[in-house]
Amino acid sequence: MLIRTQGSGFQHPHASDITPLAVYARRRDILRLAGAGATALALPAGGAHAAAAPGLAALAAARSTVPGAVTLEKPTAYQDATSYNNFYEFGTDKADPARRAQTLAPRPWTVEVDGLVRKPRRFDLDELLRLAPLEERIYRLRCVEGWSMVIPWVGYSLAELVRRVEPLGSAKYVEFTTLADKARMPGLSAGVLDWPYVEGLRLDEALHPLTLLGLGMYGQVLPNQNGAPVRLVVPWKYGFKSAKSIVRIRFVEHEPATAWAKAVPQEYGFYSNVNPLVDHPRWSQATERRIGEDGLFAKKRKTLPFNGYEAQVGQLYAGMDLKKYF
């Protein structure tokens, strides 16, 4: 993000003809017919998304019933969502993560959950996968660079994990630290950021049911380039809040120093709520391009306040000046 400037930085990916989403759409229609929005059917492992990526384990998930968790917009092609990525630990080019992230090694994996909690605990990946029923949620993700995607994630509300460690009354924020291992992440030597990549949320944001602990996408475990094996997905904030490959979740009293706010404080605030009225100092945030759909010469889409999730999350910011707390 640091190195992109208006106009010059946007690289449109090649739209893929190979789409698993015909399968995806068919399943969605079946679910609609079954009234699954209300009943949360469990989907068979590997069934609907079997075409997504050979070799990645399938994750069975029920369609989420959390209000706002399933947009009816068309999901981005799997090929686009997994080949146009920001994961600077593997390089700053959009194609780098897909090309280089096979060294990540997402198993075994543990996440340390500590800080101001009554029951600090280290979870291994299998514990995380079993912690709560897996849900499928279809979220828009809007990157600060002016593009967006629609992704069917698999996971559950971060609140499920939070309540198991019992935060103390003094815990006001949650800090997410991601893996920084030079042996597995070639981009670390470039020094683009002060590694590890750290993100943060206010405790009430972390507890909002839409805040997802992501363990998969398109019916499978996360591909490495999308933040395997566990990442955050906060749909109403710019994509950089959605930290990938998390190794530690810490409950703290004060606002955490986050990687992008530390690197360029005048450009990336702590809140980072999608706000078309607050321009990035180097480009407008009023519009966006949908990856794989809106060509370079197509009219851009209007960006919505809170990325379209205002009805669900707007009240978290009642009374706050969101131009000041950008």
Which residues sit at the interface with ligand MTE, rule CB under 6 A? 1, 85-89, 141, 143, 178, 197, 226-227, 239-240, 242-245
Tokens, residue 192 = 């683009």
Task: Pick between residue 178 and residue 285 the one whose CB is nearest to ligand MTE.
Answer: 178
Cβ-Cβ contacts under 8 Å for 317 (sequence gap 6 or more): 271, 273, 325
Contact assessment for residue 14 and residue 39, using Cβ atoms and an 8 Å cutoff: no
Q: To the nearest whole angstrom, how small is the minimum distance from the Cβ of residue 178 to ligand MTE?
A: 4
Tokens, residue 194 = 């002060």
Q: To the nearest whole angstrom, how small is the minimum distance from the Cβ of residue 30 to ligand MTE?
A: 27
Task: Pick between residue 41 and residue 304 the one whose CB is nearest to ligand MTE.
Answer: 304
Task: Pick between residue 178 and residue 211 the one whose CB is nearest to ligand MTE.
Answer: 178
Backbone angles phi, psi at 251, to 5 degrees: -95, 125
Cβ-Cβ contacts under 8 Å for 312 (sequence gap 6 or more): 67, 68, 208, 210, 236
What amino acid occupies position 102?
Q
Task: Pick between residue 123 and residue 147 the one whose CB is nearest to ligand MTE.
Answer: 147
Q: To the nearest whole angstrom, how small is the minimum distance from the Cβ of residue 42 to ligand MTE?
A: 25
Which residue of the chain is nearest ligand MTE when measured via CB?
Answer: 239
Q: To the nearest whole angstrom, how small is the minimum distance from the Cβ of residue 87 to ligand MTE?
A: 5
Whole-angstrom distance between the N-terminal and C-terminal Cα of the chain? 16
Task: Pick between residue 60 and residue 263 the one whose CB is nearest to ligand MTE.
Answer: 263
Q: To the nearest whole angstrom, how small is the minimum distance from the Cβ of residue 4 to ligand MTE?
A: 10
For strands 287-290 and 301-302, give the pairing. Answer: antiparallel
